[in-house]
Amino acid sequence: MRELYLKAPAKINLALHVKGLREDGFHELQMIMQSISLADRIKLKKKSGGIIVKNSHTELPTGRENLAYQAAEIFFKNNPEINQGVEIYIEKNIPIAAGLAGGSTDAAAVMKGLYLLFELEYDLKELRSFLENIGSDVPYCLEGGTVYASGRGEILEELPFIGEKYLVVVTPAFKISTPEVYKLYDQIKGYDKFDFDSVQNNLKNDQEIDWELDYKNDLKKAAEKICPEIKEIKDIFKNTKAEFTMLSGSGPTVFSIYSSRELAEKAAARWPRKNDFVTVAKTVPSY
Ligand code: C5P
């Protein structure tokens, strides 16, 4: 195989609970992750040597700071018998630094893609442990789906797929620094009570999601303080007949889930804030 095309889906969080600050500086988390159809497209092409990253977005770095580059570097280090290189082209559709795991999903796709391109077998567990070094969300992005993630975000338990649901994803033109949100979270904290067990039970045992349970995001207060536009976006969503609205990850992306595709499309078509990234997507199962 000389080249390969891959899809790298974005994720949203349906719940995000911060349990506390760990000694290593990361936070102990409980999260429900969900993949969505909004995706980057990646092309991998064999080269005589080296790693080259190209992309459709001028703001994205193409060197070592790019997580996809780091994934390729780890791949070649762990497979020294390969004496070729790769050119990676990323068609960037997922907003950057938006709480949608855009960089993480590219890295996971490149890692999996390189094993396919060079026709090597891989062990999923091993791949996840390689990817943990790139970022907390990257192991999840290898297969996606509806997942309970704990630890830093790298301990994964697959849940039943929540089914195909339509949503509108809105990202203001404001890049949020995740460490900054966590830093502010440490000062102001999140919700006083968070019944994560009930959320997990609901997803494991019931046919329908009970949005009245603690489907919420502990990073909300901190993210809204840093980016007040989040609140404005939520206020607009309130008048769109959404079933559920929440901040994804550390933001600033806000999404709303609708009972039908038509309602989602109507909300997106009538979106009044012209500088926001707005798209209709649907939830997707593990890939
Ligand atoms: O793991 P990742 O590189 O994506 O994390 C980015 C930043 O988010 C970390 O440097 C840290 O500030 C914060 N973070 C955290 N606890 C986690 C995950 C991320 O504090 N579990």
Domains detected in the chain: 3-158 (3.30.230.10), 166-282 (3.30.70.890)
Centre of ligand 1 to C-alpha 64, Å, is: 18
- Asked if 16 contacts 218 with a C-beta cutoff of 8 angstroms, the reply is yes
Q: Which pTM was predicted?
A: 0.97
Write out the chain's pLDDT in tens, 287 residues: 899 999 999 999 999 999 999 999 999 999 999 999 999 999 999 999 999 999 998 888 899 999 999 999 999 999 999 999 999 999 999 999 999 999 999 999 999 999 999 999 999 999 999 999 999 999 999 999 999 999 999 999 999 999 999 999 999 999 899 999 999 999 999 999 999 999 999 999 999 999 999 999 999 999 999 999 999 999 999 999 999 999 999 999 999 999 999 999 999 999 999 999 999 999 999 99
Structure tokens at 113: 């893609």
One-letter amino acid for residue 237 of the chain: F
Give the helix ranges, DSSP H, for 153-219: 178-188, 196-205
Is 17 touching ligand 1 by the criterion CB < 6 Å?
A: no
Using alpha carbons, list the distances in angstroms from residue 65 to 60, 68, 184: 9, 9, 24
CA 239-241-243 angle, 5° bins: 125
Q: Who's near 175: CB < 8 A, 6+ residues apart? A: 96, 97, 98
Is 20 touching ligand 1 by the criterion CB < 6 Å?
A: no
Task: Report the alpha-carbon distance of residue 115 to residue 22 in Å, rounded.
Answer: 34
| Atom 11 of ligand 1, residue of closest alpha carbon | 179
Q: How many CB atoms lie within 10 A of CB 24?
A: 7
